[in-house]
Structure 1
Amino acid sequence: MEITSIIGLALGLAAVFGGAILEGLPLSAIVQPTAFIIVFGGMLGAILLQSPQVDLINAVKDLPIIFLGVKEKPGEVAELIVNMALKARKEGILALQNEIASIEDPFLKKGLELMTDGTDPQLLRELLETELHHYEESVGHASKVWEGCGAYAPTVGIIGAVLGLIHVMQNLNDPSKLGGGIAVAFVATVYGVAGANLLFIPLGGKLKGNRRQTIMTRAMMLEGILSIQAGESPSFISEKLKVFMHGHEGSHKDAAGHDG
């Protein structure tokens, strides 16, 4: 669970709505269906026009990661790789075939399958690096969808504000209609700016950050697989994998303590 994402979202919303209440502004004043439709409908239309379908699907599919976190834990992966190196040293690489079926991560599973099938080390590296590169590209495109929402929302909010002001100018002789137009004008701007800076841009940044951890973990998997294939000692592999886990609390401890 990414507790910082939940706290951040709650704190941002509480600050805006709490500030409005402290100023004596009733929440009903900033609930404007017309402004909501203009801002978020216009933003959605723009992002649908801009982004390929596959990027939109990935952006939505990756949304739970922002709040639930990534499954791959660097320390656990490092420990698994070192244990496999121990088994490979004692029983041979083919003995790892029984372990592969229980592995959930598709990247690690594919790499180990290719290794136990006797794939040439250079070819194996190229295949896994290519797959990792494509994954990194898809992550970047998915995060750009949310960042694009953050870029369009304030601009569409300005459009909503202008539409509200046009409505006001057309009804200067009818004071009863002025309030609605002014409300739409200001609330549309609030929706656009708040949506961009409290939700969409942070979502894109958090998704990119979480996926960077996945990319780092998969790079660690790649080196671990090739190290096992090369017959390196488990203790050396453990030390090598620590380089990838720099900055992840507890990871060093997870991968340490194995002998060659």
Structure 2
Amino acid sequence: MTKKDILTPIGITVGFMMIIFAISTSGGVGEVVIFLDVPSIFIVLGGVIGSLLINFKLEQIKLTGRVLKESFVKTEDRLPEMIELFIRLSERARREGILALENELDEVEDPFIKKGIMLAVDGIEPEVITDIMDAEITAMEERHYKGRTIIEKAGEYAPAWGMIGTLVGLVLMLNQLSDPATLGPAMAIALITTLYGTVLANLVFIPMASKLEAKTEEEVFLKQIIIEGIIGVQSGQNPRILEEKLSAFISHTDKRKYEEMKEKEEEAARSGFVEDRVNEA
């Protein structure tokens, strides 16, 4: 399950607001207008887009929007629910046999877990299951890397195009040396493109790429835990031992959440048991 990650837009907004605040407190609110230059924006953004078009295939460029969107969403932590699922699968496999897990597939939403259960039900060797699922993790990492590379390259190109814009401005400035009054404003405009490129790189593109990399690492970690759970269920591991093994991967906060979830389920089970006894009486 995913929901909006408000930290990304908040971080970008805070960064731009601090720059505007620094400008306005140093030279007044009216000075902010000086830093708005349309030609400089076109040089930096146009140059970055042109470089990306040269560097990447069209299929990869089309993924840019989806990749950027991933920076603004976050996946809820599913570890406690996932551990509970594996405990239930383990209990049923020990009680009814591994083939009984086929009936659980409709209730499993995660395709990676579902694939692992299907392999286990088919009687595939644990080593082969691990190899197959590790290969899928590797493929996922490669897909994420290709998408993330576009953002990383944009972060590399933006400062360079900012410098190019500055050089263009300096050439135009030197061409007007006959009028000394225009040198100051021309120099200021020439430097704005460097500012644009540096801000875009260090406030937008590079932080987004780093967040995407962190999300990939989290997903890989989660899938490794899933593999451990699948192998534990297939090997007929004691549910309590499997629970302790998988719980070692989660943080103290998640452990508390998992324990609270178990207490609620046990309380609901006790309530149902008492209600059944009362109805029988």
Shared fold per TM-score greater than 0.5: yes
My pick for the range that moved more, 34-43 or 118-127, is 118-127
TM-score, normalised to structure 2, is 0.81
2:138 matched to 1:133?
yes
Cα displacement (A) at 1:209: 0.6
TM-score normalised per structure 1:
0.87
CA deviation profile, 1:178-217 (whole Å, cap 9, x unmatched): 5774344121011000001111110000111112111111
Q: Which residue of 2 aligns with 1:249?
A: 253
Q: Output one character per residue of 1:110-135: Cα deviation in whole Å (capped at 9) or x when no partner.
A: 22222223223222111111111121
Q: How does 1:180-219 map to 2 (within 5 A)?
A: 181-219=186-224
C-alpha separation in 1, matches of 2:120 and 2:146: 30
Partner residue of 2:12?
A: 9
Report the equivalent of 2:273: none
Unmatched runs of 5 consecutive residues or more in structure 1: none
Relative to structure 1, the CA distance from residue 116 to residue 252 in structure 2 (aligned partners, 3 Å threshold; closer, same or farther) is farther
Equivalent of 1:84, from 57, 82, 89? 89
**Counterpart for residue 233 of structure 1:** 238
Q: For 1:34 and 1:56, locate their aligned partners in 2 and report how far apart those are by CA, in whole Å.
A: 24
Q: Is the 8 A contact 1:72 1:217 kept in 2?
A: no
Q: 1:220 aligns with which of 206, 225, 229?
A: 225
Counterpart selection for 2:24 from 15, 21, 25: 21
Taking only aligned residues, the RMSD between alpha carbons, in angstroms, comes to: 2.6
Contact 2:79 2:254 in 1 (8 A): no
* TM-aligned CA distance change 1:56 to 1:233, over 3 Å: farther
After the TM superposition, which of the residue ranges 50-59 and 160-169 deviates more from structure 2? 50-59
**Residue identity opposite 2:150 in structure 1:** V
Pick closer, same or farther for the CA change 1:57–1:220 going to 2, 3 Å. Answer: farther
Q: CA deviation at 1:82?
A: 2.0
The one-letter code sitting in structure 2 at the alignment partner of 1:22 is T
Amino acid at match of 2:253: E
What is the percentage of aligned positions where both structures have the same residue? 31
SS at the partner of 1:26? helix
- Give the structure, 1 or 2, with the largest relative contact order (CA under 8 Å, sep 6 or more): 1
User: Which of 118, 121, 127 is the matching residue for 1:116?
Assistant: 121
Q: Given that residues 39 and 191 in structure 1 are in contact (C-alpha distance below 8 angstroms), is that contact kept between their aligned partners in structure 2? A: yes
What residue in structure 1 maps to residue 278 of structure 2?
none
Q: Which runs of 5+ in 2 are unaligned?
A: 264-281
Mapped to 2, the partners of 1:36 and 1:99 lie a distance apart of 55
Asked whether 1:74 is paired with 2:67, we answer no
Displacement of 1:146: 1.5
The separation in 2 between residues aligned to 1:158 and 1:115, in whole angstroms, is 57
Distance, in Å, in 2 between the alignment partners of 1:52 and 1:252 is: 47
Give 2:41's aligned residue: 36
Q: Distance in 1 between matches of 2:207 and 2:139?
A: 24
Q: CA deviation at 1:90?
A: 2.4
Residue 64 (str. 1) matches residue 69 (str. 2): yes
Please state whether the residue corresponding to 1:63 is helix, strand or coil.
Answer: helix
CA distance in 2, matches of 1:104, 1:228: 18
* Aligned partner letter, 1:241: L
The CA distance in 2 between the partners of 1:141 and 1:248, in whole Å, is 34
**Which structure 1 residue ranges, 4+ long, deviate > 6 Å from structure 2?**
none
